[in-house]
Copies of this chain bind each other. A is one copy, B any other.
Amino acid sequence: MKLSTKGRYGLRAVVDIAVCSENEAIALSQIAERQNISVNYLEQLVARLKKAGIVNAIRGAQGGYMLAKPAKDISVGAILRALEGDLNPVDCSEINNNEGNCDNSDSCVTKYVWKRISDSINDAVDGIMLSELVAESKKVQAQMGNTEANNTKQTCGI
């Protein structure tokens, strides 16, 4: 019952893109360095985000990624589902739309449990917008920047 690195790394990458690419596209190599994730692996994660319409790519030299829409219109739920697939705790035909076609559905009582877990997870993540994380990130950076002089490596630290 754990998120994989796809979800964990991927959400960090989106926050990075949101914070650091307000005007210009940002290259994966920069995100990779800041977040300490390999470029190759990041590619796979960002591919999912792109497919889901969360980020746009600009190809070629000086290319990179930007948000596909304003951060206030992107929910953490959409990001995590793009990265992880659905966030349901089980593959249950009552929760998903008849995926798996469970033959025991009539007499199954645990499905009520799975449904409640599923709803609570999805409600939670859909209620958080990327813009909130961006705001939090900027706040934290401001604090860190004031107390310590460790803006050594990047101008846009996360």
Contacts and interface: CB of A to CB of B under 8 A. Distances in A.
Interface of A: 1-4, 7-8, 11-12, 15, 76, 84-85, 87-91, 106-107, 109-110, 112-114, 116-117, 119-121, 123-125, 127-128, 133, 136-137, 140-141, 144, 157-158
Contacts of A106: 140, 144
Given A2-B90, A120-B124, A8 B140 contact: no
Question: Which secondary structure dominates where chain A touches chain B?
Answer: helix
Contacts of A116: 124-125, 127-128
Q: How many copies of the chain does the oligomer comprise?
A: 2
B89 A3 contact: yes
Contacts of A114: 3
Contacts of A7: 1, 89
A76 B1 contact: no
